[in-house]
Amino acid sequence: MIQTIKLVYSNFKYVVLASTIFVPMMIGLLILSEYIFLEPYVVAHLPPGSELGFVLIVIISALSALVIPMNIFRIKILKSSKQKMGGGIFGSIIGAAAGACSCGPIGFAVISTFGSVGAAATAFLTNYEIPLRIIAIAILAVTYFTTMKSLKVECNLNH
């Protein structure tokens, strides 16, 4: 497992790519979920009872940053199919969308644009924020393990 990770991330480009995914994704989600405020001052705030939401955001960002570069490596270096890449992106999108709509500017824009359909979608994403994030983590975890497995097999075949 460690060897496979080393294989991908020994190329510095993939370390940069992982950082480029992790940092903006985590900061963006923390801003959307109101753990970080930019105006009138830059403030980080972790209200009591919201610790789980914070931890889930960090895990989703970390898993996305781990899984997506590994799949790009598979596609670029090993010329594999793009099939497994979908799981990583799908998991990341679910994780990002859950709770991001809520009562903030995104939710307001969605409801203003799509009316009652937008309101229903926003309500769903807000009410089931934690379960959706857990599902997103599960999808990313499954994608991680299947990617690892296929990298092992494909690398053995190639070498």
Partner 1 sequence: MNKKGVIVGVIVVAIIAGITASYSSSQTETVNLDMGRTHGTISTAMGSPILGDPSAPITIVEFGDYQCEQCYAWFHETKPAIVRDYIDTGKVNLVFVDLAFLGKDSIPASMATYCAEDQEMYWEYHDLLYNSQESIDGGWANSERLKAFAYSLGLDFELFESCLDSEKYSKRVQYNIQQAKDNGIRGTPGFFIVGPDGQQKIGGAQPFSVFKNVLDSMI
Alpha carbons 146 and 141: distance in angstroms, whole number: 9
Shortest distance, position 44 Cβ to partner 1, whole Å: 9
Contact 60/136 with Cβ under 8 angstroms? yes
Closest approach of Cβ 30 to partner 1, in Å?
12
Number of C-alpha atoms within 13 angstroms, CB side, residue 54? 11
Q: Which is nearer to partner 1, 62 or 123 (CB)?
A: 123
CA–CA separation, 65 and 58 (whole Å): 11
> Closest approach of Cβ 124 to partner 1, in Å?
9
Strands 36-37 and 43-44: antiparallel
**Measured from the CB atom, is 48 or 158 closer to partner 1?**
48
Q: Burial, 42: exposed, middle or buried (Cβ in 10 Å; 0-12, 13-18, 19+)?
A: exposed
Q: Closer CB to partner 1, residue 51 or residue 153? A: 51
Q: Closest CB to partner 1 among 34 and 154?
A: 34
d(Cα 11, Cα 140) in Å, to the nearest integer? 22
DSSP code of residue 100: T
CB of 58 to partner 1, least distance (A): 20
Q: State the nearest-atom distance from the C-beta of 136 to partner 1, in Å.
A: 19
Which parts of this chain interact with partner 1 (CB under 8 A)?
Answer: 34, 37, 39-41, 43, 45, 47-48, 50, 102-105, 107-109, 111-112, 116, 119, 122-123, 126-127
**Cβ nearer to partner 1, comparing 16 with 46:** 46
